[in-house]
Amino acid sequence: MKLTLRVWRQKNSNTQGQLEDHQLDDVSPDSSFLEMIDDLNEKLTNEGKEPIAFDHDCREGICGMCSLVVNGVAHGQDRELIKAVTICQLHMRNFHGGETIVLEPWRAKGFPILKDLIVDRGAFDRIIQAGGFISVGTGSAPDANASPIPKKNADIAMDAAACIGCGACVAACPNASAMLFTSAKMGNLNHLPQGQTERYQRVVNMVTQMDKEGFGACTNMGECEAVCPKEINLDFIAQMNKDLITAALKGIGPTV
Amino acid sequence: MKNIIDQIKVVEGSLNSAVPEGRIQDVWDNHRFNMKLVNPANKRKFNVIVVGSGLAGGAAAATMGELGYNVQCFFYQDSARRAHSVAAQGGINAAKNYQNDGDSIFRLFYDTVKGGDYRSREANVYRLAQVSNNIIDQCVAQGVPFAREYGGALDNRSFGGAQVSRTFYARGQTGQQLLLGAYQALSRQAAAGSVKLYPRTEMLDLIVINGQARGIVTRNMVTGEIKSYLADAVVLATGGYGNLYYLSTNAMGCNVTASWRAYKRGAFFANPCYVQIHPTCIPPAGEHQSKLTLMSESLRNDGRIWVPRNPNDTRKANDIPEAERYYYLEEKYPSFGNLVPRDVASRNAKTVVDEGHGVGELKNGVYLDFAESIGRLGAHIIKERYGNLFDMYTSITGEDPYKVPMRIYPAIHYTMGGTWVDYNLQTTIPGLFSIGEANFSDHGANRLGASALMQGLADGYFVIPYTMGNYLAQAKSEKVDTNHPAVREAEAGVNERMKKLLSINGKRSVSSFHRELGRVIWDNVGMARTDAGLRTALKRIPEIRAEFWENVRVPGSADDLNQSLEMAGRVVDFLEFGEVMALDALHRAESCGGHFREESQTEEGEALRDDENFAYTAAWEYAGEGKMPILNKEPLTFEYVKLTQRSYK
């Protein structure tokens, strides 16, 4: 099929970007979205032009590297057609010939653009570094079955831990809030007995870092949950806020 | 060309595996006692570079940071959490025997050596089985949400045909969860300042000074800056080389560059021909295909594999009557049926497709049919077991496996070969270590399911932190800075290569060469190899390489974010590495594990080992540009495991 791609081009973080149109004449409906961009890049290379820079790696929806806003929707998914996928798993049969597809990077203050469609998501790493871990050194662990964990809790922890850190939640949020990402890590650790010791310090530190990175606040729009390729639930944000209040009542301040 | 094998220079007795004396059960404990320690106050004076942030690299960097070393960790992704360990689905083995079904450290050890078709080093494998239990403890303590039973205890399953249930798992995302555990430990050290992280930074050369590994040359993939980092030791945790095949289940960025650069600096490369092919992947849909997606092996528990008996049958799957279906695995292997090991399932799929029975538009797959299970158990049970896999299959192919059979075909999945290491995981360059999939050590010629995660974490959490101390306590390396001639030479080499790649300005893209190389490797050094095919590969690879250097077009500049240039650098190394791999496969005239030579098979078509002539590890030594590498042999002896021929009839 024939497609027009309207792509964001930007040389680096210090320059202004603009949208640029490209035509593709022979897109296979069986190719993946990123393979379609590969094709375009092959064409640009052969024409002596510079290919479009975009992040991608595993191409099976788990590494969290790919990050495209397609026609205004993070990961381009249309829930009626297809269930919870990253853009690397979306295939071209979900589009129609003659369509114009607009491709943009994640747009958020916390994610500066590096080039074209690539952004810097270092802020997410720094949020985890602020407290998204359990302080246990290698070698000091008790036997794995020493403390039983109710299956239900383990399952909820896993629901939250499924987050791939792609940042679609931030890209979709009108406030560019990183609350779904941040609360998912807490939802993972706080549902396990191992995570209790640092629970309240963790919430204070991670939220403090999240704010420092320039992400906005949550106003319960739910856009994040709607685009999350791992279907992380908004409930985790509520739980995070509850813990944050408890921490305040306990008088716990940030240490980051 | 005819007597290429006779031209190989063979050296015996050159490799010291450094396995301590003693009973295999005691070796690691004794060694831990005998190894030298670094005084706690001195640890921060030692700099250690870790390349790679996956299960092996992330675990190693975090643990050495905890111990007090100054660690720098480099990786090409934008975050340490994205290393390709993240994609492992199935699980991780450990000899916990929580299910009380007769598992033990010795049994896990025995199964792993046997599964590796007797081409691994016994002492390394035993240690792997020993520390497997610590891994599970560690991961649970980190908050890895493993699957649990209703009573709250950890759940286990049997995996890949194992007779015991020793596999721990976190839904179908075990690799992701274990990696996040390591990533969080790493993040904690990054916050503490003991580990410095270098995202989007690629290692492009190794710096060797006075025979010791002392640093790396890197390229900042955002700014293009070439910069050297020096240290007292370097650890490669850079994964496998499956992307040599172009189409594989590896991530797009996986590459052999770090290992290959180390090889050219003197680190021997062992058993490159041992690669694992996974039988259940989605077949390519056309020329545009960029990678292959694995569907968990567990699907074979309930799916029946078949092809039309008549190669010219053009009917849809559901219109082909039962009598005209060829359930080739069930017919050939009545006792194991669809559950034969990975390599057997893969080779048989290749055979039927090569004979023209292939299904799908490109006739490049076989059916994996759930109709019988759905009829017997109900669609809801199948959905419960494989729902997410079925969804993934639908989103990729547009077909509904509840209604029509899946199409599957084998793909490259894991590489058992890698940088040669001794018992301490040190390469043939002092101060250079290699861990995880990057080394060759534990899986022999074939890896068992759920053992890759185990090995990565074993090496990273529980082996390298000890053996590194032993090295540093005795290394006596001189003080060097980045003005050292060896550093200048390595940097100049990197800059020159970059400049050359950008200046060719030919007519073909980098990926077109990668695709062409991959095709040659897949056809000739793939699932079934022949003497003639391997010689073809050895002829074709240098031809492709020569054309590459004359006709490649790499757009953009070196001092910018340039993904074409990154890819070009990796393909350059694949173009050289592929030749050594084909040579290794040619010289090993036996079949073993993932290496199947058609000339060496039993009457039943099984891999036929030749223990008399090939019970050794082949470690290839770089002999200079354009020269044939030297073959160093490490003999393999088996004191604890009895060598047998596999049979799945």
Tens of pLDDT, residues A218-248 = 999 999 999 999 999 999 999 999 999 999 9
Q: DSSP letters along B413-448, please?
A: EEE--EE---TTSB-SSTTEEE-GGGB-SSSTTSPP
Residue B1 in this model has a pLDDT that exceeds 60: no
Q: How, if at all, do strands A3-9 and A18-24 pair?
A: antiparallel
Residue B649 in this model has a pLDDT that exceeds 80: no
Closest in A83, A121, A158 to B145, CB measured = A158
Which chain A residues are within 8 Å of B222, Cβ to Cβ?
114-115
Residue B385 in this model has a pLDDT that exceeds 90: no
Q: B455 and B408 in one domain?
A: no
Q: Mean pLDDT in chain A?
A: 95
- Give the lowest-confidence range in A18-22, A114-118, B447-451: B447-451
Residue B480 in this model has a pLDDT that exceeds 90: yes
Q: DSSP letters along B504-534, please?
A: H--SEEHHHHHHHHHHHHHHHSSSSB-HHHH
Q: B460 and B408 in one domain?
A: no
Residue B603 in this model has a pLDDT that exceeds 90: no
- A1 and chain B in contact, CB less than 8 A: no
Which chain A residues are within 8 Å of B294, Cβ to Cβ?
60
Task: Count up the domains in chain B and report the number.
Answer: 2
Give percent of chain A with pLDDT exceeding 90: 96
Which chain B residues are within 8 Å of A209, Cβ to Cβ?
none
Q: What is the mean pLDDT of residues B221-230?
A: 98
Give percent of chain B with pLDDT exceeding 70: 99
- Tell me: the pLDDT tens digits for B107-160? 999 999 999 999 999 999 999 999 999 999 999 999 999 999 999 999 998 887
Q: What is the mean pLDDT of residues B22-33?
A: 97
Q: Mean pLDDT in chain B?
A: 95
Asked if residue B19 belongs to a domain, the reply is: no
At residue B446, what is the residue type?
N
User: What pLDDT does A82 receive?
Assistant: 64
Which helix or strand (DSSP H or E) is residue B208 part of?
strand B201-209
Q: Which residues pair with A226 in a beta bridge?
A: none
Our CA angle for B166, B52, B77, nearest 5°, is: 110
A138 and B66 in contact by Cβ < 8 A?
A: yes
Q: B399 and B436 in one domain?
A: no
Closest in B77, B143, B153 to A134, CB measured = B143
Q: For residue B375, with 0-12 CB atoms within 10 Å meaning exposed, 13-18 middle and 19 or more buried, which class applies? A: exposed
Asked if residue B180 belongs to a domain, the reply is: yes
B145 and A56 in contact by Cβ < 8 A?
A: no
User: What pLDDT does B304 receive?
Assistant: 96
Asked if residue B424 belongs to a domain, the reply is: yes
| Contacts with B627 (C-beta within 8 Å, 6 or more apart), sequence order | none
Closest in A65, A91, A129 to B78, CB measured = A65
Residue B2 in this model has a pLDDT that exceeds 70: no
Enumerate residues 73 to 102 of chain A having a beta carbon within 8 A of any beta carbon in chain B: 82-83, 85, 89-91, 93
Q: What is the CATH number of the domain that holds B307?
A: 3.90.700.10
Picking from A1, A74, A75, A7, the residue whose alpha carbon sits closest to that of residue A37 is: A7
Q: Mapping DSSP to helix (H, G, I), strand (E, B) and coil, where does residue A101 land?
A: strand
Residue B505 in this model has a pLDDT that exceeds 60: yes
Q: What is the mean pLDDT of residues B569-593?
A: 98
User: What pLDDT does A79 receive?
Assistant: 54
Which chain B residues are within 8 Å of A129, Cβ to Cβ?
187-188, 190-191
Range of B191's domain? 27-202+209-224+420-474
User: What pLDDT does B301 receive?
Assistant: 86
Q: What is the mean pLDDT of residues A93-122?
A: 96
ipTM over 0.90: yes
User: What pLDDT does B339 receive?
Assistant: 86
In whole angstroms, give the CA distance from residue B423 to residue B464: 10
Which chain A residues are within 8 Å of B187, Cβ to Cβ?
125, 128-129, 132-133
Chain A nearest-CA residue for B150:
A151
- Tell me: the pLDDT tens digits for A168-209? 999 999 999 999 999 999 999 999 999 999 999 999 999 999
Query: Would you place residue A84 in the very low, low, confident or very high pLDDT band (cuts 50, 70, 90)?
Result: confident
User: What pLDDT does B600 receive?
Assistant: 97
A125 and B461 in contact by Cβ < 8 A?
A: no
User: What pLDDT does B298 receive?
Assistant: 82
Final residue before a domain boundary, out of B474, B491, B511: B474
Asked if residue B469 belongs to a domain, the reply is: yes
Q: At what angle are helices B174-192 and B55-67 packed, to 10 degrees?
A: 30
Closest in A32, A51, A164 to B555, CB measured = A51
A38 and B288 in contact by Cβ < 8 A?
A: yes
Final residue before a domain boundary, out of B452, B474, B496: B474
Asked if residue B556 belongs to a domain, the reply is: no
A57 and B461 in contact by Cβ < 8 A?
A: no
CATH homologous superfamily of A122-249: Alpha-helical ferredoxin (1.10.1060.10)
Q: B220 and B105 in one domain?
A: yes
Q: B45 and B177 in one domain?
A: yes
Q: What is the mean pLDDT of residues B566-580?
A: 98
In whole angstroms, give the CA distance from residue B371 to residue B378: 10
Chain A nearest-CA residue for B290:
A35
B286 and A30 in contact by Cβ < 8 A?
A: yes
Query: Would you place residue B621 in the very low, low, confident or very high pLDDT band (cuts 50, 70, 90)?
Result: very high
Query: Would you place residue B472 in the very low, low, confident or very high pLDDT band (cuts 50, 70, 90)?
Result: very high
Q: What is the mean pLDDT of residues B357-364?
A: 95
Chain B nearest-CA residue for A59:
B251
**DSSP assigned state of A86:** -
Every domain of chain A and the residues it spans: 3-104, 122-249
Which chain B residues are within 8 Å of A124, Cβ to Cβ?
79
Q: B463 and B315 in one domain?
A: no
Q: What is the mean pLDDT of residues B412-429?
A: 98
Q: B102 and B64 in one domain?
A: yes
Residue B608 in this model has a pLDDT that exceeds 80: yes
To the nearest whole angstrom, how far is the Cα of A26 from the nearest Cα of chain B?
11
Q: DSSP letters along B550-598, please?
A: HHEE--S-SSS--HHHHHHHHHHHHHHHHHHHHHHHHH--S-BTTB-BT
Closest in A62, A121, A150 to B86, CB measured = A62
- Give the lowest-confidence range in A83-87, A225-229, B299-303: A83-87
To the nearest whole angstrom, how far is the Cα of A186 from the nearest Cα of chain B?
11
Closest in B153, B553, B561 to A145, CB measured = B153
Which chain B residues are within 8 Å of A187, Cβ to Cβ?
none
Which chain B residues are within 8 Å of A36, Cβ to Cβ?
288
Residue B504 in this model has a pLDDT that exceeds 80: yes
Query: Would you place residue B335 in the very low, low, confident or very high pLDDT band (cuts 50, 70, 90)?
Result: confident
Q: B66 and B183 in one domain?
A: yes
Chain A nearest-CA residue for B508:
A46
Enumerate residues 196 to 255 of chain A having a beta carbon within 8 A of any beta carbon in chain B: none
CATH for the stretch A3-104: 3.10.20.30
To the nearest whole angstrom, how far is the Cα of A34 from the nearest Cα of chain B?
9
Largest alpha-carbon pair distance within chain A?
Answer: 64
Higher pLDDT, residue A233 or B648: A233
Which chain A residues are within 8 Å of B171, Cβ to Cβ?
158, 162
Q: B393 and B454 in one domain?
A: no
Which chain B residues are within 8 Å of A49, Cβ to Cβ?
555
Closest in A53, A132, A140 to B561, CB measured = A53
Phi, psi of B9 (to 5 degrees): -80, 125
N-terminal to C-terminal alpha carbon distance within chain B: 39
Residue B571 in this model has a pLDDT that exceeds 70: yes
In whole angstroms, give the CA distance from residue B442 to residue B437: 9
B290 and A28 in contact by Cβ < 8 A?
A: no
How far are the Cα atoms of A192, B178, B183, B456, B461 from residue A140, in angstroms, in the given order?
18, 17, 18, 19, 12
| Contacts with B524 (C-beta within 8 Å, 6 or more apart), sequence order | B533, B534, B536, B537, B540, B582
Give percent of chain A with pLDDT exceeding 70: 98
Chain A nearest-CA residue for B60:
A138
* A-B contacts (CB, under 8 Å): 235
CB A202 within 8 A of CB B155: no
Q: What is the mean pLDDT of residues B232-241?
A: 98
Residue B12 in this model has a pLDDT that exceeds 90: yes
In whole angstroms, give the CA distance from residue B22 to residue A92: 61
User: Tokens 């063979």 sit at which residue?
Assistant: B10
How far are the Cα atoms of B18, B19, B36 from residue B27, in angstroms, in the given order?
11, 8, 16
- Tell me: the pLDDT tens digits for B250-271? 999 999 999 999 999 999 999 9
Which helix or strand (DSSP H or E) is residue B217 part of?
strand B212-220
Q: What is the CATH number of the domain that holds B70?
A: 3.50.50.60
Q: B438 and B387 in one domain?
A: no
Which chain A residues are within 8 Å of B85, Cβ to Cβ?
none
Q: B88 and B169 in one domain?
A: yes
| Contacts with B319 (C-beta within 8 Å, 6 or more apart), sequence order | none
Q: B393 and B451 in one domain?
A: no
Which chain A residues are within 8 Å of B144, Cβ to Cβ?
161
